[in-house]
A and B are shown apart, each in its own frame.
Chain A
Amino acid sequence: MSQLSHHDDNNEDYPLVIKTENANTVLQLLRAINFSEMATVIGSPEGLRVVVEEGKCIQASAFLQSQMFQEYHSQDDVVTFKINLNVLVECLNIFGGSSLPGVAPSLKMCYGGYGSPLSLVLEEASVLTDCNIRTQEADDTLEFNFCNTSVVNKIVMRSECLRDIFSEFDYNCCGVPVLEILTSPDPPYFRLSTISNMSTSDTDIPKDSDMIETFSCTKTMRQRYKLALLRPSIKPLTIAQKVLLRTDERGILCLQFMVKMEDNHICFVEFFCCPEEEEEIE
């Protein structure tokens, strides 16, 4: 933190100030949810939540806990704004995002409150970059009302398991391919099926497989989701270590990805997806 400290003058005036030695962790998480252009940033004393939505059907959010930053300062009340995530990711990657561990720019990010831009100061090898990204008034984010009490089935598994399966789907298949997720306390326990015009496929994962860490299903749930809507979950799957798959009584799917960062911090990315309407099946 050499030159960045010069900018320390009036931190207290900003509703949101973040400093980190490693901007790549932020970059990595934001990239994982960058399936749509605009993102809503919600800053609270606990940390920063970046929410991306599409078509009122899917929502992905990355939670950057305050502990993963060297300095995290947020006013007591919640700060929200909307920002172009493509631009933010591009700015964070301005030094080219070296893949070597330990070589990463440091970042200071300030937000001056309603109407002001988000300013980023990135420094790598004494090269400073200032970026100002305009912000917009935040819209309400989708509220899935997904609470723990209504969760019916819960499976914790290693991410490779889902990654291989999800990456093999033929998303461009003609028609509207859907994925049916079956979770049940009885055989076949956990089955992912794709149904498209061309073919059908079933993938059975036994509940005692080494890939599955926890399997707790109380009720047989069979829900269909559009494959295209699930596609954005591949990105967080590739960086995650573990995945928690939950469905509630309404069939809403929640995938929670546990991502272990370079600096051993653990972050979470959440992905919600609405099921297809029952009437549409058959």
Chain B
Amino acid sequence: MKCTIPGSNIKVFGRAIHSLARIGEELYVEPYPTGVYFRAVNSSRSAFASFHFGSRFFAHYNDGSGGQQSAAGEEAVKCKVSMKACLNVFKSLVTLVRSVERSKLFLDGEEAKLGIQFICKYGIVKSYNLPFIECETLHAAYDKTSCTNYIKSQAQVLSKAVINFQSNQEEVTLCVSSNKIVIRTFVDDVPDPGKAIHTELTLEAGEFDSYNIPDDCEVTFCLKELRAILAFAEPINLSVASYFTEPGNPIIFAVDNHPMFESTFVLATMAPKSNTQASRNKATDKHTSKPGNGQRSSASPSCSQAASWMKTPMPSTSGLKQANSSTVRRSEQITNISNRFDESRARLSSPHNSSTRGNHNPQLGNGSARHLSTQPVTHTNNVNASQLEISLPNLDVVNKVTEEEDVIPGTPPSKRAKFFFRRCFESTFDPTTVPGHDRILASDSDDDS
């Protein structure tokens, strides 16, 4: 591929790169005869962004599929480059706009590099070489046309609405009805929802250029990606169209400036609450395995759960697969229980207070927990769990949780676990003061030493 971006279009192109950089770690470049796609997907595969620059956008465009004489079947090289390296090239848009007269982009298949060349004022030429990895097309399965709900407005309308939300707000819920749209913060999994900041604002149907909402509907999605598209669309005064159907199905934001460029953002929406137990297990599993002080991933687990529509060439994480077979589900429940048992035992017998939530005690928990979960489901696991229940009558909290697990299979959300085991997280908590702390109820099944 070889193309030349005229100086007047550098800014738009740079903004597109900045916008994509908010989504993913890698930039996918896919040239086609009609134009080139730049795409990104986030790490949890819950957001996908695609920019298409038509050949009209460029002063010169050649997709490099060898159109003239070579084999007809030969396709232009598709690749991905490090987003960080690419973003660095377009770091200062102000400087670019001021100095760059035109820019050349080319993919060099032989040297496996993406070349970006800026021809600047005063005859200065800057050339960047970013190594790339060849890859397949990044493709998200979505269909705008089948979406029942459709709204379109100037980017400004949405960005003025979005600016009201706190910058650390992760998800928002879009409630649409026939005459108005309410955008409000989505609060989930907070120990005290009363303390969280709730923001809600209403946009009248009249503020939108097009408004087609046949049925009332509520969709929840990540705000970060919406901000990314608005940051692109607002400065060029384009309108943003949104397409969506129902919770659990993706919401699509599109900016169209055909034939120059168009961009599409596909965001996972949160699946409705009444989901299958299996998926709930998955979601909570993900939660508990996260270190307590670690950053929250950009998408909530249930968002990534809903992202199973995403088809990517990368190996999909197991979290995306719906586990429906009942045997799988049962074994999961049991490993959950055994994990929990290990976790609680680790806490009880650990000499120092472990402050990380959901992390197994490195000395005790990890090895045995792994061992248990890989073991075929046997009777002993259940025995262990019930033993725990019987032999620790003093620990009400533990009892409560195990009882609950008898009633509702599956682990409670991590926040609730923290609530129940609150005392264990207090700095004054000394596990050696707990009665029966020195009694080992079940020795390590796997001797690590």
Contact = CB atoms under 8 A, between A and B. Distances in A.
Interface of A: 161, 164-165, 167-168, 170, 173, 198-206, 208-211
B131 interface: yes
5 contacts: A201-B126, A202-B125, A204-B124, A209-B123, A211-B124
Given A200-B129, A201-B128, A161 B95 contact: no
Given A161-B124, A168-B91, 14 more contacts: A198-B82, A199-B88, A201-B128, A202-B127, A203-B124, A204-B124, A204-B125, A204-B126, A204-B127, A205-B122, A206-B123, A206-B124, A209-B123, A209-B124
Nearest to A203: B126
A170 B123 contact: no
B95 A168 contact: yes
B95 A210 contact: no
B84 A208 contact: no
Contacts of A205: 122-124
Contacts of A208: 123
A262 B391 CA distance: 83
Contact of A170 (B88, B95, B122, B129): B88
A57 B51 CA distance: 46
B325 interface: no
A206 B123 CA distance: 6
Nearest to A169: B88
Interface of B: 82, 84-85, 88-89, 91-92, 95, 99, 122-131
Given A168-B92, A198-B82, A199-B85, A211 B129 contact: no
Nearest to A196: B85
A206 B124 CA distance: 6
Q: Which 4 A-B pairs have the closest CB atoms?
A: A198-B85, A206-B123, A199-B85, A201-B128
Contacts of A206: 123-124
B128 A209 contact: no
Contact of B92 (A161, A167, A209): A167
Given A164-B95, A168-B91, A202 B124 contact: no
Given A168-B91, A198-B84, A199-B85, A211 B130 contact: no
Contacts of B89: 199, 201
B103 to A, nearest CB: 13
Given A167-B92, A170-B88, A199 B123 contact: no
Contacts of A198: 82, 84-85, 88, 130-131
Contacts of B85: 198-199
A192 to B, nearest CB: 9
Contacts of A168: 88, 91-92, 95
Most chain B beta-carbon contacts within 10 A, residue among A199, A201, A202: A199
Nearest to B99: A164
A131 B196 CA distance: 49
A168 B14 CA distance: 14
A221 B5 CA distance: 34
A215 to B, nearest CB: 13
Contacts of A165: 126
Contacts of B129: 199-201
A202 B126 contact: yes
Contact of A199 (B92, B122, B125, B128): B128
Contacts of B124: 161, 203-206, 209, 211
A209 B124 CA distance: 8
Nearest to B114: A199
A128 B88 CA distance: 47
A146 B191 CA distance: 66
Nearest to A204: B125
A202 B89 CA distance: 12
Contacts of B126: 165, 201-204
A170 B123 CA distance: 23
A211 B130 CA distance: 28
B254 to A, nearest CB: 31
A225 to B, nearest CB: 18
A46 B226 CA distance: 62
B128 A161 contact: no
A202 to B, nearest CB: 5
Nearest to B131: A199
B346 to A, nearest CB: 36
A202 B128 CA distance: 6
Nearest to B118: A203
Contacts of A202: 125-127
Contacts of A203: 124-127
Contacts of B82: 198-199
A202 B92 CA distance: 17
Given A164-B95, A168-B92, A200 B128 contact: yes
Nearest to B95: A164
A208 B123 CA distance: 8
A204 B92 CA distance: 19
B14 to A, nearest CB: 13
A211 B122 contact: yes
Contacts of A170: 88, 91
A114 B447 CA distance: 69
A16 to B, nearest CB: 42
Contacts of B125: 202-204
Looking at A201, A206, A208, the one whose CB has the most chain B CB atoms below 10 A away is A201
Contacts of B88: 168, 170, 173, 198-199
B95 A199 contact: no
A170 B84 CA distance: 10
Contacts of A161: 122, 124
A200 B124 CA distance: 17
Contacts of B95: 164, 167-168
Contacts of A201: 89, 126-129
